[in-house]
Amino acid sequence: MRTINRIYINGEFVKPYGTEVQELINPSTREIIGRVTLGNEEDAKRAIAAAKKAFKTFSRTSVEERSQMLQRLHDAVMTKLEVMMEANINEYGAPKPAAIGRVKLAATNFLDTKEALEEFNFFKYIGKAKVVAEPIGVIGIITPWNATYSQITAKLASAIAAGCPVVIKPSELSAIQAHLITECFHEADIPAGVINVVHGLGQTVGFELTRNPDIAMITFTGSTRTGKEIRRGAVDSMKRVTLELGGKSPNIILDDADFSTAIPTAVRQCYNNNGQACVAGTRLLVPKQRLEEVKQVAKETVERIKVGNPWEEGTELGPIVTEKQYNQVQRYIQSGIDEGAELVIGGVGHPEGLEQGYFVKPTVFAQVTEDMTIAKEEIFGPVLSILTYETEEEAIEMANNTEYGLGAYVSSSDIKKANEVAAQIAAGVVLINGAGFEMKAPFGGFKQSGIGREYGLHGLEECLETKTITGYD
Ligand code: NAD
């Protein structure tokens, strides 16, 4: 049992003014594994004050100093790999290999950003002007529960590289993970006030960060609905916002693709992170005449996926994070059935023998049409919808027929054609033929999937203001 009754302000773990205590539940067992005392608006205010004070000196640190800080942050995270992995498994339900990957990615974010920082040109000359990139100010970081370590570190690394102190409000559902990574930040010997972490609710701490005039920028990951609230809340103080929001990513399988590999890969690209990934490829677009074959391969793939205890060797799919999210996924599966989609495998209820946790049956629907709820809305669970197209043009049109535009996937044996299709999709990230992400490259969404870009050079640039000086010589 973990009791988290401290927040991190000005380089110290302090008792929050807030008194509300929230239980933390292991989603695989429904056992209470911890309690967190939530901070309130006053806690947010004192964290912002500490960050504001730190800005004066931190904004003037050299690239070399900040580069060393990023190295130390990386090293500190790596020393806690084991315990952070454990928390990711117990608090989130990530299968062990995925949990290890998450911690390593969190650490690597610091090194990737360090590399970007060392390459970045903070001065340039345009005509008779000197153009200077300066840290924007104090940054508020608001993160969800589905990838706590990497979401926090991606945002933090950019801020540190730019010379901006931060106030982090992690999701109240991942307080153990957030606390552990805060201990890493503490051990990395970063100047007091540069990193502050306040556990709390969106309506209190998140609300304060969004509106407080001493916060220059909010960087947020989470739902599109909350992203809109944050953008509205940030208007009066004219904050910059970067928003990494939801998705309904298409996965186009062209007729010439190797279906025996493309379909199993597509299933896994949808079920990634227990089906709770903003970039999950949830809409599988396949040639109409190949539907039966696709259904067969998808079904066989799902039958081979081991669902269950995330600690067990071979488990690929753990539980959904909370009862609320579990119920939401169930409602979506039921809506697929009610609206007339064909259930290929899965369905409502728990997988057999896994009634004790928030486990969902990995589900595949076929005969899904574009007007169905499961084809339009972000489900945030392991539910794949198969839609069919007749021509390549139609596939591209269907891929783009969504309010979202975060990820997209294309499979073809003709790489030139795959690239042509990729060029026509309105999405921030396109992965061809099962390729992975490049975490040094920009990440973010078109349309309602967000504003701005994270990671590497682009993440750093988001945290900077530009000043043009003439007559400097
Ligand atoms: P959310 O968007 O409500 O919360 C994300 C973060 O924002 C949390 O830290 C939360 O406390 C904070 N927050 C909430 N309301 C706020 C406000 N008004 N002002 C400032 N901060 C606020 O996400 P959630 O409730 O955790 O999940 C809801 C849905 O969002 C999920 O079902 C899922 O579909 C989606 N989601 C998407 C992503 C993504 O990466 N795209 C991540 C998590 C959740």
For atom 15 of ligand 1, the residue with the nearest CA is: 202
Cα 322 from Cα 205, distance rounded (Å): 21
For atom 26 of ligand 1, the residue with the nearest CA is: 144
pLDDT tens digit sequence for 156-208: 999 999 999 999 999 999 999 999 999 999 999 999 999 999 999 999 999 99
Rounded to 10°, the helix 63-79/175-187 angle is 130
Segment 305-332 shows an average pLDDT of 98
What is the number of other CB atoms lying within 10 angstroms of the CB of residue 259? Answer: 20
- Ligand 1 centre distance from Cα of residue 142 (Å): 9
- Ligand 1 centre distance from Cα of residue 218 (Å): 14
Q: 366 falls in which pLDDT band (50, 70, 90)?
A: very high
Q: Tokens 């910059």 appear where? A: 240
Token digits of residue 377: 């809305």
Catalytic residues, by residue number, are: 244
Q: Which atom of ligand 1 lies at the shortest distance from residue 449's CA?
A: 41
Do residues 362 and 347 lie in contact, with contact meaning Cβ atoms separated by under 8 Å?
A: no
**309 three-class SS:** coil
Q: Tokens 């039966």 appear where? A: 292
Q: Which atom of ligand 1 lies at the shortest distance from residue 247's CA?
A: 41
Cα 425 from Cα 402, distance rounded (Å): 11
Mean pLDDT in the chain? Answer: 98
pLDDT tens digit sequence for 115-155: 999 999 999 999 999 999 999 999 999 999 999 999 999 99
Cα 92 from Cα 152, distance rounded (Å): 15
Segment 316-331 shows an average pLDDT of 98
Ligand 1 cavity residues, CB under 6 Å: 142-146, 169, 171-172, 201-203, 206-207, 210, 221-223, 226, 229-230, 245-246, 278, 325, 328, 378, 380
Do residues 236 and 260 lie in contact, with contact meaning Cβ atoms separated by under 8 Å?
A: no
pLDDT tens digit sequence for 10-48: 999 999 999 999 999 999 999 999 999 999 999 999 999
Q: 76 falls in which pLDDT band (50, 70, 90)?
A: very high
For atom 28 of ligand 1, the residue with the nearest CA is: 223
Do residues 459 and 438 lie in contact, with contact meaning Cβ atoms separated by under 8 Å?
A: no
Q: 219 falls in which pLDDT band (50, 70, 90)?
A: very high
Best mutation site among 142, 168, 223, 373 for ligand 1 pocket (most ligand atoms within 8 Å of CB): 223
282: alpha, beta or left? (left if phi > 0; alpha if psi -120 to 50): alpha
Cα 471 from Cα 473, distance rounded (Å): 6
Using alpha carbons, select from 365, 286, 284 the residue that is nearest to residue 332.
365
pLDDT at 260: 98
Do residues 4 and 13 lie in contact, with contact meaning Cβ atoms separated by under 8 Å?
A: no
pTM, entire model: 0.98
Torsion angle, alpha carbons of 99, 454, 285, 224, to 10? 90
Segment 304-318 shows an average pLDDT of 98
Q: Which atom of ligand 1 lies at the shortest distance from residue 142's CA?
A: 9
- Please list, in sequence order, all residues whose beta carbon lies within 8 angstroms of the beta carbon of residue 195, skipping any fewer than 6 positions away: 8, 156, 165, 166, 168, 182, 185
- Please list, in sequence order, all residues whose beta carbon lies within 8 angstroms of the beta carbon of residue 103, skipping any fewer than 6 positions away: 77, 80, 81, 84, 85, 88, 149
- Ligand 1 centre distance from Cα of residue 223 (Å): 5
pLDDT tens digit sequence for 222-260: 999 999 999 999 999 999 999 999 999 999 999 999 999
What's the number of CA atoms in the CB half-sphere (13 Å) around residue 250?
A: 31
Confidence check on the interface: ipTM exceeds 0.85, yes or no: yes
pLDDT at 408: 98
DSSP 195-243: EEE----IIIIIHHHHH-TT--EEEEES-HHHHHHHHHHTTTTT-EEEE
- Ligand 1 centre distance from Cα of residue 17 (Å): 24
pLDDT at 391: 98
